[in-house]
Amino acid sequence: MHLSPAEVVAQRDWVRDRGDVVVPLVNDVREGLGEAFDTTVDPIDDEGYRTVVDSTFADGDRAVNVAALVGLLRELDVEGDYPGFVVDELLGRELAAMIAREQPLRLLAEATFHYADVVHHPPGTAGADDLDAALAAGVQTRVPGWDWTETESPFGVDP
């Protein structure tokens, strides 16, 4: 794999155009997690998805790493799939975390990745479902809609 600024743009464009698959998956994940945690979570739309993609790729250091993970997952396939289970899970989890940014959202995206991966099974390579699940988990963690993210934490300590 060779990464250049042009390749990062190409990967960004591919991810941006993937909204027709990722946005419904984000909303399915939010609905399922909302039911599991007895709360209502706002759905996202294409504009919200593109906003997260654009801001992720606007950070050059993050963009080159996200582009690399996207490229690897797009091409990853393992004969018999199971021997590659660890690598596609590892790459997918890291991609979700990288999109979510810093802690604690990073950890939440990693956990959400596994949930999204369990419910999403598109045809294709071993990395295809992990790529979609990672994009959905990272994006859904970044966009508003969870009540607890809309209020100030009660654990902040005044200086």
Give pLDDT tens digits for 91-130. Answer: 999 999 999 999 999 999 999 999 998 887 776 677 888 9
pLDDT in tens, 46-75: 999 999 999 999 999 999 999 999 999 999
Q: Is the pLDDT of residue 82 over 70?
A: no
Total-model pTM: 0.91
Mean pLDDT across 40-44: 93
Burial 79-111 (b: 16+ CB within 10 A, else e): eeeeebeebbbebbbbbbbbbbbeeebbebbbe
**CA 2 to CA 24: how far, in whole Å?**
31
The pLDDT of residue 87: 86
Mean pLDDT across 6-11: 98
In sequence order, which residues have a C-beta less than 8 Å from that of residue 81 and are 6 or more positions away? 126
> Which among 137, 126, 57, 44 has a CA at the least distance from the CA of 94?
137
Tell the residue number behind the tokens 């946005």, with chain if given.
23
The pLDDT of residue 135: 97
Mean pLDDT across 8-33: 96
